[in-house]
Amino acid sequence: NNVSADVEMYSFESGMTNYGTYPIFHNSDDLTDYVMSEMIARNSEFSFYFAAPFTESPAAYFKTIISDSVEHNGMPNSGDYLAKAYNNYYFSYKLFKNCYEYEGSYIDLYLMTFNFSFFTTAEDESYVDSRIDEIIKSLNISNKSDYEKALAIYTWITSNVSYDQANANPFAINDNKTFTAYNALYKKTAVCQGVATLFYNMLLKVGVDNRITNNSTHCWNLVKVDGSYYYCDPTWDLGFNPSNFQYFMCGRESGFESEHAITDTSMNLGYSVVN
The pLDDT tens digits along the chain (275 residues) read: 455 557 899 999 988 899 999 999 999 999 999 999 999 999 999 999 999 877 778 889 999 999 999 999 999 999 999 999 999 999 999 999 999 988 888 999 999 999 999 999 999 999 999 999 999 999 999 999 999 999 999 999 999 999 999 999 988 999 999 999 999 999 999 999 999 999 999 999 999 999 999 999 999 999 999 999 999 999 999 999 999 999 999 999 999 999 999 988 899 999 999 99
Cα separations in angstroms, 223 against 196, 210, 234: 11, 4, 12
Cα–Cα distance list, 28 to 3, 34, 36, 111, 141 (Å): 17, 10, 12, 15, 39
CA distances, 113 to each of 23, 61, 95, 161 (Å): 12, 14, 12, 37
How many Cβ atoms sit within 10 Å of the Cβ of residue 272?
A: 10
86-102 and 105-118: which strand pairing? antiparallel
